[in-house]
Amino acid sequence: MRADMADPLTLFTSIGLSEQKAKETLKNDALCSALKDAIAQAQRVLGVAGVDKATGTLLYTMASRLRDPKRLGFLTDHIAQRKICTELQLAAALEFVKSHPQDPINQQEFESLCGVGVVITPEQIEDKSASVFTGEARGGLMWADGKMIKNEVDMQVCVAIHLCLSPEGIVYINIDILTLMDELRGVALNFHKPGENYKTEGYVVTPKTMDLLKQHLEFTGGQIRTRFPPEPNGILHIGHAKAINFNFGYAKANDGICYLRYDDTNPEKEEEKYFTAIKDMVEWLGYKPYEITHASDNFQRLYDLAVDLIRRGHAYVCHQRGEELKGHNPPPSPWRERPAEESLVLFDRMRRGLFAEGEATLRMKIVMEDGKMDPVAYRIKYTAHHRTGDACSTPSFVGSLEPLIILICLCVSFRRSSYFWLCNALDVYCPVQWEYGRLNLTYTVVSKRKIIKLVEEGTVRDWDDPRLFTLTALRRRGFPSEAINNFCAKVGVTVAQATMEPHMLESCVRDVLNDHAPRAMAVLEPLKVTITNLPEGIRNDVRVPDFPANEFMGSHVVPFTRTIFIEQSDFREVMEKGYKRLTPDQPVGLRHAGYVISVQKVIKDAQGRVVELEVHCCSSHEAAEKPKAFIHWVSEPQKCEIRLYERLFLHKNPEDPSEVPGGFLSDINPNSLQVIDSALVDISVSKAKVFDKFQFERVGYFALDPDSTADKLVFNRTVTLKEDPGKM
């Protein structure tokens, strides 16, 4: 069936496409035309033999993935001549022509890199699959059929599992999981190499691209360069931690550099405290910027580029008001075809302050991927900029002018092609923009506007309130930076938006604090205990290990006197089934002291509440039987304030009107903060510094709050010792 005479639907089904796939192809004019041309070319090569299903499948794949139409005939010939006969070879061929956009193509190099003429036998697959656990199977058989490799590997895995059975019948298999740094080195990422931007999907190649890439590569020396570009109008939150780890981490993992670039183009909302806090948080997470830059550093250059864009006919001054441009289908601008000379005069007047705010904007002539036309590049703002002074017009569409190799951005793919368009329209170097998915947590809000509302309403104290998930709040609560980085590693490098439960982050926190937070003893609700058989004035020193699991990691000394304090919950006047701590009929051990106490007298106040116990103390070696439990205690303690935190919101998604019809402010948990102002802690923590972390034995992990004074320490509970199953 000749391609130039056949009905397209019949033609496409004749080469093996299903009717549904053929109909879908007909809806895409470019793909339909390319596939018809490929079939016609293949028919000329094959003659009467025609195009079979295997060849047709390869032709369809080639036509749908090929980005350079001038290579269609070249690849079609190789497919029709059976030089390219597998999907793997075709993928390599497509990659080759994409990475070699200029003529002529080196035929020998092409065939070598695409496996032309290579035949893999089943015996080779069997032999090579034996080495699969060392990762060599695919590497040694590049052009082998993937399904055959999989089947062989599956069989050998079964054999391996059988051989790994222990005498107890337990299977021991070690699986290496990629760490974040492995991913960022490129093991699991498909980032382009320096100078090979044009190999990236969607990257637009212009006649000047190769020269610009060459100049850029000469300037950077092929070094990996990234940037983290926060807006200094709020505090960074947990989602930014992912961005910091990816941008700085990717550069660090590949011996590159990363800029901290403040996107300071909105002077109305920017404050110095935000600039400082952002830098502090980047450094707190363990990264040091190669250089700190500002978008405002380039205001003059951006203005000059805007003038150039107008001269080239790609931008114009528009007088539509902001309200006219809202919505998905705003009316087209009547000034779109305004002469460039006229727009240049008006743009200069915008800069000199001869228009009111909103009276004129500079718009770019481009249709965005979401269908919106002509985004605003410059608008008028009569607000003094903290670095450049008074400014009448400010850029709203700012690309990075640092000499970057790669942009790693929040997933805003509708801007990607616009960014490429802008760089190419101005004939400037165009870095590749790679997107990743936003990181969200349930039971919280991270919107700057909503956090400001929480502060204004008095629901939280400030941006660093430990109930929030800003980075300053997490640091104040006691979350180690290492735990936050580990959490980002667990989330991984994903393009899809990720919504995680807070307990996953808290689990990472426990893992770090368990190894790094020294132990101390604190009593939140004290009950006085007098040891009657210990004379007044006697003071023994008890050595307590900082890390009981490894006593070589240090210890501290606490006093043991006639008066100690225990938790009220560690005594019950009436014995209950399963209760193992102190009762009038049941002794209990004291942690680290080597003593067992037994109740002699229960003292109550006028309301009948237990206020003191008189006990007898003996060495644990002298006790008639080993106590069922050991409790913590303090003696000659220091008074402190303890702040216990729970989730700020009652529902998982406080911003979802279907879940919280009254809005996020109606969803506040009334028990999100409990303050205990008369807790007692042992003297080992008396010299602690702000943000120092401890495990208060049997209570939880705590960190010293900045509100602490010389007279009174304040501790924030970071997390409980164990995860609360009710929060999962």
Catalytic residues: 231, 438, 448
Closest by CA to 39, choosing from 20, 25, 58, is 58
Helix (H) or strand (E) holding 646: none
Kindly state the DSSP code that residue 261 receives in the 8-state scheme: E
Kindly write down the DSSP assignment for every residue of 475-505, as one continuous string.
Answer: HHHT--HHHHHHHHHHH-S-SS-EEE-HHHH
The edge-to-edge listing of strands for the beta sheet with 630-631 is: 563-567, 526-531, 610-619, 595-604, 588-590, 630-631
Report which of 129, 34, 146, 41 is spatially closest to residue 87, judged by C-alpha positions: 146
d(CA 628, CA 428): 75
Whole-angstrom distance, CA of residue 348 vs CA of residue 297: 20
Copy the structure tokens of residue 639. 């008074």
> In which element (H, E) is residue 450 found?
helix 448-456
Distance of CA 220 to the CA centre of its chain: 27
Closest CA to 85 of 157, 145, 155: 145
Which tokens in the block code for residue 397?
């569409």
Task: Choose among 526, 540, 714: nearest CA to 619.
Answer: 540
Tokens linked to 164: 């790994």
Query: What tokens appear for 503 in the block?
Result: 């307990």
DSSP lists the bridge partners of residue 347 as none
3 state DSSP class of 263:
coil
**CB 564 within 8 Å of CB 634:** yes
Coil vs helix vs strand at 11? helix
Q: Decide: 51 and 79 in contact? Cβ < 8 Å.
A: no
Instruction: Answer yes or no: are the C-beta atoms of 164 and 172 closer than 8 Å.
Output: yes
Beta carbons of 227 and 404 less than 8 angstroms apart: yes
d(CA 471, CA 237): 5
* Cα angle, residue 573 at apex, residues 567 and 574 outer, rounded to 5°: 125
C-alpha dihedral sign at 524, 530, 535, 537: positive
How open is the CA angle 179-185-186, to the nearest 5 degrees?
100
Looking at residue 385, the DSSP 8-state letter turns out to be: B
Q: Which residues contact 215 (CB under 8 A, 6 or more apart)?
A: 429
Residue 205 is classified by DSSP as: P
CB 434 within 8 A of CB 191: yes
* Structure token digits, residue 608: 């009948």
